[in-house]
A and B are shown apart, each in its own frame.
Chain A
Amino acid sequence: MFWTSYFLAVLAIVLAWPVPILLSRAHWPARDPFTAMVLWQAIGLAGGLSMIGAMLVYGLEPVGDNLLAGLRALADMVLFAAPTTALGFWHLFALSAAALLTAHLVFTLLLTYYKIERQRRRHRELLALLASPSDDGPGTVVINHDSPVAYCLPGGARSVTVLSDGLMAALEPAELRAVLIHENAHLTQRHHLLLWAFAAWRQALPWLPTTRLAQEAVNSLIEMLADDVALKTESKATLIKAIAIVASGSAAPAGAAVVEPANLAGASLQLPDVAGGAGLASTTASRVSRLLSPRPPLAGGLRAAVLAVCALLLAMPTALLIVPGLLG
């Protein structure tokens, strides 16, 4: 029991600090974004699980040989007022910390969901009044703005892809198709769920710098995944050109012909650069370089190995927590 908690604590620390740093510096994720995405999820889940598990197992050590027996004993103390003398100060401390951390993670997840949904609803309301439907299919609208902007707002059946006038004017039909396929890929692959989970993870543990690394990596990986979908129907040159036109257009200050309120938006455009948008900026750069000089995807064996590691990462804390109880 003691060794289990010791091992889980080591696992939690390794997954919280060195592993995400190494992974965020690695170059292979650009070659196989899907596998990298699975790995980031496994790291996050296994990290959280082992963090809570380590404290739980340590705290329950005096009252049970394994987690299940320990939890049963704990339930007796809480529900039937069995004597709690077996638990020392540090055990109680660890148990409280485990309970608090669990509640904190769940609560942050729900709160983040609520905040995101509220912003999306408001955004959709304004779009319903300001944007006009596009000829490019249902769920696509055009907004009157000179900067080349394209984005999608997820929301189940009410998901919408928004294009700006500036974008429509700047892109050739094929490039526009590439943009639409790219945005649609975000929606069909449900990338918003990943964005939500990792935004909540960062929100819950802001003092852990690797949660920021994870979020940035995930933001960048979903763009690569969506690019790969666009490449199935459109040529590489088309996609690169679309990215280059939109990126160079959106960095430029708003032109002189723009009406005043749009200049206001143009001014805010400068903010991300100042506020350390380095992670975001490098997303575009790495997308383009990945398209310009493609490297072969991970070999099948290597890919399988990484996926096996993911499965192992999730299985290990779970097994350590549950299996001794089932055997004993």
Chain B
Amino acid sequence: MASLGELERAVMDLLWAGHEAATANTLRDLLAQSTAAHGGAAGHEGKDLAVTTVLTVLSRLEKKGLVERERGTRPHRYQAVSSREDHTAELMHEVLGSAPDREAVLARFIGSVTESEAETLRKLLGHS
């Protein structure tokens, strides 16, 4: 049985790739297919994946603000809140941005550099 973390990742990959809302049942089938495609032993486990597990994973993702469900329909259809690229951009914004807490949250190899500094460094590279 794959861990919840791996399943979260697999579900998000499906939602990001699909671009449209999907029910837990659809997602379960897609997950089973993709694990089957990745090899025999894993494929067997994939078939055992219960819809309730997929629902657990979806509600965890919903709590994290990554997935939303369409309330009108039944069964609920789930979709990604924003694209993979947007989430990456959000993450990089946090890394490169100038929020006062950022310096304490993570340690960057290179902090912010001004354009003139970068120019000096480029010249340095040209010489070496």
Contacts and interface: CB of A to CB of B under 8 A. Distances in A.
Contacts of B91: 123, 126-127, 130, 143
A246 B105 contact: no
Contact of B118 (A162, A219, A248, A275): A248
Given A199-B104, A265-B92, A265-B96, A252 B118 contact: yes
A104 interface: no
B12 to A, nearest CB: 5
Contact of B104 (A112, A245, A272, A280): A112
A145 B25 CA distance: 33
A120 B87 contact: no
B74 interface: no
Nearest to A279: B111
Given A143-B88, A250-B110, A129 B128 contact: no
A248 B125 contact: yes
A68 B12 CA distance: 61
A151 interface: yes
Contacts of A260: 85
A150 interface: yes
Interface in A149-195: 149-154, 162, 164, 179, 182-183, 186, 191-192, 195
A150 B108 contact: yes
B47 interface: no
B110 A273 contact: no
Interface string A195-209: 110010000000000
B98 A248 contact: no
Interface string A247-287: 11011100000011110110011011101010011011100
Interface in B107-128: 107-115, 117-119, 121-122, 124-125, 128
Interface residues of B, number: 44
Interface string B60-93: 0000101000000000000000011111111111
A116 B104 CA distance: 7
Nearest to A150: B109
A152 B107 contact: yes
A262 B113 contact: no
A120 B106 contact: yes
Contact of B112 (A112, A192, A199, A272): A272
A273 B87 contact: no
6 contacts: A151-B95, A154-B107, A223-B111, A245-B125, A265-B92, A277-B98
Interface of B: 5, 8-9, 12, 64, 66, 83-98, 101, 103-115, 117-119, 121-122, 124-125, 128
Interface of A: 112, 115-116, 119-120, 123, 125-130, 143-145, 147, 149-154, 162, 164, 179, 182-183, 186, 191-192, 195-196, 199, 215, 219, 222-223, 226, 237, 240-248, 250-252, 259-262, 264-265, 268-269, 271-273, 275, 277, 280-281, 283-285, 288
Of all A-B residue pairs in the complex, the 3 with the closest CB atoms, nearest first, are A251-B118, A272-B112, A261-B89
